[in-house]
Amino acid sequence: MQTNTAVKVDRLTKIFDTGAAVEDLSFEIRENEFVALVGPSGCGKSTTLKIVSGLIPPTKGKVYIRNAQVQGPIADVGMVLQSPVLLPWRNSLENVLFTAEMGGRKPGGYHRRASELFKLASLEGFEKSYPHELSGGMQQRVAICRALLLDPSLLLMDEPFGALDVLTRERMGFELQRIWSASKTTVLLVTHSITEAVLLADTVIVMTARPGRIKAAIKVDLPRPRDVHTLREPRFIELTGAVRDNIEAQWVE
Amino acid sequence: MMWKHTQNIRRAAEAPFAFLVILILWEYGAGFIGVPEYILPVPTDIVGKFWQTLTIQAHHLGVTAATTMIGLAMALLIGVLLAMSVLYIRPMKAIVLPILAAFNSIPKIAIAPLFVIWFGLGVEPKILLAFLLGLFPVFVNSITGLGEIEPDVLDLARLAGGNELRIFTKVRLMNAVPYITDAIKVAFPLALVGSIVGEFIGGNNGVGYLILSGQFNMDTPLVFATLLSITLFTTVVIGLVVFLERVLLKWRPSRRKR
Ligand SMILES: Nc1ncnc2c1ncn2[C@@H]1O[C@H](COP(=O)(O)OP(=O)(O)OP(=O)(O)O)[C@@H](O)[C@H]1O
Ligand SMILES: [Mg+2]
């Protein structure tokens, strides 16, 4: 194993009552790498993310984070899910500080960092608003701020922009790229959007239909920082085509 | 705006107005038809009696209020603790749930005389009845409020390093607050019934006793005056609960602003 491997998934299999969700899945994520995970619905992307985070145990196989085997909920990780999952009795600021409080830290020391993040996510002025007073997209941005509060070295995101409109989604994607390159965290992003995957990731992992296996791992060699112009580059179109071919090939099989 | 405002005033005035109409009909209608006072005293007689017996009313209401509130407080404490035990100690679920369900199907009022045999004529059987009647709604709502947390919330809490204590105080308990205030609204009237039934069957204190003595002496105005005392008490307590909800649940989407 290389020393700069952040995440190593080794022959992972997860079998539910409903059958195998993922089977013999192996991949590695280098330190500071941005990896996107794409694949048909139900192929085990969320399951993989949950096993990597240590929330559920694998049936077979192992996961290592920085050479330590995962055996329970891991530390120093930020998680963003498809729905915001905010606590309705906490305002936005208190929801963001939740991460600190759960870790047994005094929330007082994190107000500065929280307001930085609110600025970054264009949420200034909404610190005191309760979740039901925010739009779905704003709630999701609060959830992203919550995941980033402690500057985790690993960011796990499960379709974090799924509920956003296309323009906000694009902006949040570029914002994520900026945060990632500024803080140099390692990112594993599950997404349904091929465009988003190629635009943001260093490597796009394509999974097969259930039970999920690795179909292809496509290196994205586009220069950074990427922006809206990247979307029109021939190389970008070529790469999204390659990802698409790998997904569509399964429909023919 | 103007239209909405006048509508609000109208709606706010409707209930007291209807109440007033009923009182006037009662006051003059009863005399007009000739209903004797020992059947149905008129409002002015009741208020007069209430005023006349004010210190007695205050004394007996004080006793009933105390046993009711102590019983309710015990129901809250034990109800939440039982729910916690069911939540955290696996075997407890198999023990506590069937016992409580079976116990709940016994009409507690029917076993009230037993409590007099066991605990005498003092406040103890009243408090016990108030507690037993209030317990079940608190327990059931606490189980839901403490237990039914979105799995995603628990996942995020655990990943952030949350231990069971922090998850309990910052997630479960907060989630249970609206369930528990709802439970109080049900448990309080039940606890009051427990106290009053306890006073019916033994002792010489409390509004239950006062009503009984009114009945013995055919003093119907006293019975009604005591009912008035009870109504004042329940109004104050329900008002307090609503106030508590306003303070604790200010994060709830309000229906009025819609
Ligand atoms: N707790 C569970 N119990 C039983 N089966 C489960 C459970 N969780 C997931 N599965 C099954 O595992 C498979 C993979 O689920 P998963 O949620 O990981 O898919 P996914 O790739 O994230 O899909 P989507 O893109 O629709 O979110 C599904 O077929 C699902 O039925
Ligand atoms: Mg999923």
Assess if residue B146 is contained within a domain.
yes
Assess if residue B48 is contained within a domain.
no
pLDDT tier at B4 (50, 70, 90 boundaries)?
Answer: low
Q: What pLDDT digit, counting tens, does each position of B5-60 carry?
A: 777 777 778 888 888 898 888 888 887 888 888 888 888 889 999 999 999 999 99
Alpha-carbon distance A137 to A133, whole Å?
12
Residue B172: closest C-alpha in chain A? A87
Strands A5-16 and A203-207: unpaired
Take residue A135 and report the two structure tokens written for it: 């739009």
Partner residue facing B150 (CB), from A77, A85, A146: A85
Q: Range of B154's domain?
A: 59-221
Assess if residue B109 is contained within a domain.
yes
Residues in chain B closer than 8 A to A75 (CB atoms):
161
Q: Does residue A46's CB lie within 6 angstroms of at least one atom of ligand 1? A: yes
Give the mean pLDDT of B247-251. Answer: 90
Residues in chain A closer than 8 A to B152 (CB atoms):
81, 83, 85
Low-confidence ranges of chain A (pLDDT < 50): 1
Q: What pLDDT digit, counting tens, does each position of A187-236 carry?
A: 999 998 999 999 999 999 999 988 888 999 999 999 999 999 999 999 99
Q: Does residue A18's CB lie within 6 angstroms of at least one atom of ligand 1? A: yes
Ligand nearest to the CA of B155: 1
Assess if residue B179 is contained within a domain.
yes
Assess if residue B68 is contained within a domain.
yes
**pLDDT in the model for residue A3:** 61
Query: Which residue bears the tokens 């004529």?
Result: B121
Ligand nearest to the CA of A48: 1
Assess if residue B70 is contained within a domain.
yes
pLDDT tier at B258 (50, 70, 90 boundaries)?
Answer: very low
Q: How many degrees, rounded to 5, is the angle at CA A125 between CA A123 and CA A129?
A: 85
**pLDDT in the model for residue B101:** 86
Strands A19-30 and A5-16: antiparallel
Contact A117, A183 (CB under 8 A): no
| B167 and chain A in contact, CB less than 8 A | yes
Compute, in angstroms, the gap from residue B193 CA to the centroid of ligand 1: 51
Per-residue b or e along B175-201, where b marks 16 or more CB atoms closer than 10 Å to that residue's CB: bbbbbbbbbbeebbbbbbbbbbbbbeb
Q: Does residue A44's CB lie within 6 angstroms of at least one atom of ligand 1? A: yes
Assess if residue B211 is contained within a domain.
yes
Domain count of the fold of chain B: 1
Q: A212 burial class (0-12, 13-18, 19+ CB within 10 angstroms)?
A: buried
Q: What pLDDT digit, counting tens, does each position of B56-103 carry?
A: 999 999 999 999 999 999 999 999 999 999 999 988 888 888 888 888
What percentage of chain B exceeds 70 in pLDDT?
Answer: 96
Take residue B188 and report the two structure tokens written for it: 């309080």
Q: Is A164 helix (H, G, I), strand (E, B) or coil?
A: coil
Within 8 A by CB and 6+ apart from B23, the residues are: B43
Residues in chain B closer than 8 A to A99 (CB atoms):
160
Residue B39: φ, ψ to 5°: -90, -55
- CATH value at residue B93: 1.10.3720.10
Determine which residue's CA is closest to atom 25 belonging to ligand 1.
Answer: A41
Assess if residue B201 is contained within a domain.
yes
